[in-house]
Amino acid sequence: MRKFKLQARHNRKILVSLLLSFIIALPMLAQPLGLSFFQPDRPAITSQPSQAQTPSESLSVEAPLPVASDAGMIVEPLEVFEDIELTMNRSLKEEEILAMIARGEEIDANYEEDALTEDDEIDLGEDEPEDPVVEVAAHIRYISGDNVNLRSEPAIESESLGRLDLGEKVTCTGETAEWMKVKDAKGREGFIFATYTSTDIVFRPVNQTVYVTANTVNLRSGPSTQSEVLARLDKDHKLTRTGVSDEWSRIKTRDGGTAYIANNFLTITVPASLRTTTKSTSSGSTTVVNRSGDKVVDLAYSMLGVRYVFGSESRSGVDCSGLIYYIYRQIGVSVPRISSSYANFGTSVSRSDMKPGDVIAWDTRKNDGKTSITHVGIYVGGGNMIHASSTYKKVILVSVSKYESYGLKMVTIRRIKT
């Protein structure tokens, strides 16, 4: 036998239906017995209005009127029940239950109705979000606002999971009309206002001195490995950084232009070959020296910024050979005063064996058809040279490979015994 479970709602429906059926059938059952259950002493209502009534009053009926039956009995009309519609619109399942009751069949309490009737309440759970998150293919975005809140839900009143910095890179995985679902580099996932993101790389403004950490690093026209290479820089090359993102730095070039270099090739730490400090001399004056421990290198750094003066060899001014002459004279070593004399002075060493303190001799007269030494400088390590530049009118630090890229020829490298 099929078993059913009666819900409380269905129990009420069934009881109301049975009660109504009984009330309807009762007069019919009472007529053969001559019984009267509905106010027998009430006079019958005729179609003519009484003298106490006006025609308009006879037409205004505020309550259901009793009706005369064929047997002469006065029968009250049924009161209008709201639930009477239930008997008129019962589902097939309800009809089946009533039929089983009429047959005296057992109805099991574990019955569960398979279908809902139009009067059943349907629980849909929480209201569906008005603006659901649309999943999208993961793509990169950059934070265009400063200290942007990362929230747990796409709502301004939801919990803040942390803040994102200007220029930070995030991965977008979903979005709504106003919000974007993102994941940051720390693995945090949440929502931010879409207006605070950009598809272009965003640079955080800075003003820093940075140094190249590797040899032959590309300086590019744009923040991409596909951008044009503007120059190749040596290790310890000094640069001015004006902006930084997650992966790239924006660099100010010597002519005031803009270039880009990957962050992993830069450091803000001054390289050992460029570190300087202040040291007191016996005369009470101070001298800026390098911490390398090499006396020649220390003195070379102390001369940075000294004016270029042709034919001079002092702190008031030097030319290229005058710089070498002055430095070595401070440690008691006599060296040539003319650049061309370094062709055979000291010991020749290879470029791969070059060490701080060595003198680099150059031929700066391009395309004259012969090789001659016209310029000298001191190697200070890290791929750099200090020399008195007639172009910049002072003593400067320059990358050896960059200086060579100007089309100048390295003639020889001389090591001087100290």
Exposure class string for 254-270: b at 16+ Cβ within 10 A, else e: eeeeebbbeeebbeeee
Tell me the C-alpha distance between 349 and 328, whole Å.
19
What is the distance of C-alpha 414 from the center of its chain? 55
Q: Quickly list H helices, 43-193.
A: 55-59, 84-88, 92-102
Helix axes 320-330, 295-302, angle to 10 degrees: 130
Q: Quickly list H helices, 222-337.
A: 295-302, 320-330
Q: Which residue has the tokens 């042709």?
A: 310
Q: Which of 335, 338, 310 is nearest to 325 (CA)?
A: 335
Q: Of 10, 172, 237, 387, which residue is the catalytic one? A: 387
Annotated catalytic, 320?
A: yes
Annotated catalytic, 375?
A: yes
Tell me the C-alpha distance between 153 and 139, whole Å.
20
Tell me, what DSSP letter sits at residue 78? P
* 279, 291 Cβ separation under 8 angstroms: no
Q: Of 10, 172, 237, 375, which residue is the catalytic one? A: 375
User: 405 burial class (0-12, 13-18, 19+ CB within 10 angstroms)?
Assistant: exposed
Q: Which of 254, 228, 222 is nearest to 240 (CA)?
A: 254
The pair of three-digit structure tokens given for residue 331, joined into one six-digit string:
């440690």
Annotated catalytic, 387?
A: yes
End-to-end CA separation in angstroms for the chain: 115
Q: Which of 129, 133, 248 is nearest to 189 (CA)?
A: 133
Q: Which of 65, 69, 73, 63 is nearest to 40 (CA)?
A: 73
Question: 10 Å Cβ neighbour count for 376?
Answer: 29
Per 3-state DSSP, what percentage of the chain is helix, strand, and coil (rounded to 5)? 20, 30, 50
Active site residues: 320, 375, 387
